[in-house]
Amino acid sequence: MFASARRAYESGTKAAPSGRELEAAALYKAARQLEQCRQDWDTPDRDRRLDEALRYNQRLWTFFQGEWMAEDCHLPAALRSNLLRLSAFVDRRTFEVMSKPTSEGLRALIEINRQIAAGLSTPVGLSETTARAA
């Protein structure tokens, strides 16, 4: 009886993703949407899908910016500063693609999202160990 209760509890705790996992999933989703637009550039509904993908990505990065600028942000100051600079680049590139759509303009946004998501997906202790070893 206790073993089944413990398994139920453990499965419930495993099902709840961490904040990092949620952020990574959202970035991967944005990257997939942008990549799909890039791959299907010549489809008739491109403008609508591109607008949806860019706006989703923009809302996501706006959320991150707010988190990084908050007084209670626990990230080191140098990392916060770098992430805010990166987010400013994402903003500029997003507006460039909105005003002059090109499939190539999406590449940087896709790659940034994938790289940040991959970093968030790496266990914290592992990424610190890997950084020291490099």
30-84 per-position pLDDT tens digit = 999 999 999 999 999 999 999 999 999 999 999 999 999 999 999 999 999 999 9
Decide if 48 is inside a domain: yes
Decide if 91 is inside a domain: yes
pLDDT value of residue 19: 84
Decide if 15 is inside a domain: no
State the CATH number of the domain containing residue 116. 1.20.120
* pTM for the whole structure: 0.78
Q: Where are the alpha helices (DSSP H) in 16-122?
A: 19-39, 46-69, 77-99, 106-121
One-letter amino acid at 105 equals: G
| pLDDT greater at residue 48 or residue 123 | 48
Domain range for 64 is: 20-133
Pick the closest to residue 23 from 127, 116, 124, 90 (CA basis).
116
Least confident of 16-20, 56-60, 127-131: 127-131
